[in-house]
């Protein structure tokens, strides 16, 4: 509690991470502490091949496993009760993971916590060849703000995160376009500015003049009406109504936005791509650009889409859709599992048939994970509001 003692202790704890990475790298056979580690924690470590090394002290455990990428790797105990183990090489980018101690699935005490896979748990960053796009650089940085509001639709308190670009505070007459950007299933409104690094991606693009400065609103895609108001004739999710009736008016009232459709875009990943495509197609008077990262509204079907009936015929008149879409963007990782390639492929075939132009981006060597979505945002952000 003595603050000098606390600072000295903290400095000692930090020495490993403060030391030159070359030294650590040599001592640790090329392994270094993950960027996602808690302050002062040496483990977990990663190496250039994407192998994850974990450690935890559990002297009385019968077994400990490193649980990452759908595989549980056995760890082994040393004489001091420290368990160590490592994974096969992981794809570059961010992954959720956990440790399993005698059947209990728990956070690795070495890792910071991230909300995904339906829990606030461990995550690990595998350095990527293109990590420069979301690196923390000496450029002007925007801010990320948490806004609480009571939804009269869900009758619950909700919150969203709002990115404002670096110079937002400078010219109080300037107004900005807005991107509404959604997470995937079993994730929440924290995902894009935490593991997604949306703020850093935009800071870097804006500083380089590759994207125009815009606001990003990150909401929670889960929204339901109170049980008492359940109605089998209405969609199970109230998200579309919350977005259109509550979030957008609130953002337009509290931020210096440009309120016309040309300056409003909507995008999402996976479940968020599905949700936002419906919102976009049902509200072409409100949005001019759409981004669907690793997802489309025909999910999970890979069958040919009939534009006469799909989304109530929203794509029937291809020319009209094209005329209303400044940017229509789709993306996938090259390693995405079924049904994503088939489903997005069927959707693209439909667009082709209807003569609707779109941009398709493929993230090399990544699956249905955040590295695909970081890159997708990086591409999409350079196209919109221009």
**Nearest approach, Cβ of 212 to its own copies (angstroms)?**
21
Nearer to its own copies, 243 or 384 (CB): 243
Q: Do 363 and 376 form a contact (C-beta atoms < 8 A)?
A: yes
Residues 110-169 that bind its own copies (CB under 8 A): 112-113, 118-121, 136, 138, 141, 143-150, 157, 169
**Nearest approach, Cβ of 200 to its own copies (angstroms)?**
9
**Nearest approach, Cβ of 29 to its own copies (angstroms)?**
25
- Taking CB under 8 A as the rule, does residue 354 contact its own copies? no
Nearer to its own copies, 155 or 353 (CB): 155
Nearer to its own copies, 90 or 194 (CB): 194
Residues 248-287 that bind its own copies (CB under 8 A): 254-255, 270-271, 274-275
- Taking CB under 8 A as the rule, does residue 338 contact its own copies? no
Annotate 291-329 with b (16+ C-beta within 10 A) or e (fewer): bbbbbbbbbeebeebebeebeeebbeebeebeebbbbbb
**Nearest approach, Cβ of 49 to its own copies (angstroms)?**
27
Query: Measured between alpha carbons, how far is 96 from 134 in angstroms, rounded to an integer?
Result: 18
Nearer to its own copies, 188 or 246 (CB): 188
- Taking CB under 8 A as the rule, does residue 20 contact its own copies? no
Nearer to its own copies, 150 or 360 (CB): 150
Q: Do 202 and 163 form a contact (C-beta atoms < 8 A)?
A: yes
Query: Measured between alpha carbons, how far is 101 from 117 in angstroms, rounded to an integer?
Result: 19
Residues 27-86 that bind its own copies (CB under 8 A): 38-40, 56-64, 81
**Nearest approach, Cβ of 219 to its own copies (angstroms)?**
14
**Nearest approach, Cβ of 305 to its own copies (angstroms)?**
17
Of the residues 103, 171, 231, 285, which one makes contact with its own copies according to CB under 8 A? 103
**Nearest approach, Cβ of 104 to its own copies (angstroms)?**
4
Nearer to its own copies, 58 or 133 (CB): 58
**Nearest approach, Cβ of 132 to its own copies (angstroms)?**
16
Nearer to its own copies, 50 or 370 (CB): 370
3-state secondary structure of 263: helix
Segment interacting with its own copies (CB under 8 A) among 67-75, 84-92, 218-226, 325-333: 218-226
Residues 291-320 that bind its own copies (CB under 8 A): 299-300
Site size toward its own copies (CB under 8 A) is 72
In the chain the beta strands, taken as DSSP E runs, fall at 32-33, 45-46, 52-57, 64-68, 71-74, 76-77, 82-86, 93-101, 104-106, 113-116, 119-126, 143-151, 156-164, 178-182, 215-218, 264-269, 289-293, 327-333, 359-363
Q: Which of 222, 236, 234 is nearest to 185 (CA)?
A: 222
Q: How far is CA 52 from CA 31, 45, 48, 97, 151, in A?
A: 9, 6, 10, 10, 42
Q: Which of 330, 179, 322, 168 is nearest to 256 (CA)?
A: 168
Q: Which of 54, 55, 56, 82 is nearest to 69 (CA)?
A: 54
Nearer to its own copies, 61 or 284 (CB): 61
Residues 176-195 that bind its own copies (CB under 8 A): 184-186, 188
Q: Which of 363, 354, 179 is nearest to 258 (CA)?
A: 179
Look at the alpha carbons of 361, 161, 159, 282 in this order and tell me if their dihedral is positive or negative.
Answer: negative
**Nearest approach, Cβ of 165 to its own copies (angstroms)?**
13
Query: Measured between alpha carbons, how far is 73 from 88 in angstroms, rounded to an integer?
Result: 9
């Amino acid at each position: 509690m003595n603050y000098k003692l606390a600072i000295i202790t903290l400095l000692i704890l930090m020495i490993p991470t403060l030391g030159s990475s070359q030294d650590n790298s040599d001592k640790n056979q090329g392994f270094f502490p993950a960027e996602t580690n808690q302050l002062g924690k040496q483990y977990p470590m990663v190496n250039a091949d994407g192998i994850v090394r974990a450690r935890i002290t559990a002297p009385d455990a019968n077994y400990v496993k490193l649980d990452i990428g759908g595989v549980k790797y056995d760890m082994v105990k040393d004489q001091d009760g420290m368990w160590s183990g490592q994974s096969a090489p992981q794809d570059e980018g961010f992954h959720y993971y956990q440790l399993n101690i005698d059947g209990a699935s728990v956070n690795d005490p070495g890792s910071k916590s991230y909300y995904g896979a339906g829990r606030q748990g461990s995550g690990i960053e595998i350095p990527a060849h293109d990590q420069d796009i979301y690196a923390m650089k000496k450029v002007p940085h925007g801010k990320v703000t948490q806004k609480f509001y009571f939804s009269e639709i869900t009758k619950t308190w909700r919150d969203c995160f709002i990115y404002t670009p670096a110079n937002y505070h400078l010219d109080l007459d300037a107004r900005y376009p807005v991107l509404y950007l959604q997470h995937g299933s079993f994730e929440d409104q924290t995902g894009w500015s935490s593991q997604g690094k949306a703020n850093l991606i935009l800071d870097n693009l804006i500083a380089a003049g590759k994207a125009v400065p815009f606001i990003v609103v990150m909401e929670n895609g889960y929204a339901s009406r109170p049980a008492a108001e359940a109605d089998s004739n209405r969609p199970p999710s109230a998200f579309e109504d919350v977005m259109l009736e509550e979030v957008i008016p609130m953002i337009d009232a509290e931020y210096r936005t440009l309120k016309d459709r040309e300056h409003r875009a909507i995008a999402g990943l996976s479940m968020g791509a599905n949700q936002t495509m419906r919102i976009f197609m049902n509200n072409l008077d409100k949005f001019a650009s759409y981004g669907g990262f690793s997802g489309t509204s025909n999910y999970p079907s890979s069958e040919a889409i009939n534009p006469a009936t799909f989304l109530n015929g929203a794509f029937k008149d291809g020319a009209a859709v094209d005329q209303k879409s400044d940017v229509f963007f789709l993306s996938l990782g090259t390693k995405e599992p079924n049904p994503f390639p088939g489903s997005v492929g069927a959707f693209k075939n439909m667009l082709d048939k209807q003569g609707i132009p779109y941009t398709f981006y493929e993230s090399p060597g990544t699956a249905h994970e955040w590295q695909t979505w970081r890159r997708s945002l990086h591409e999409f952000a350079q196209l919109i509001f221009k």
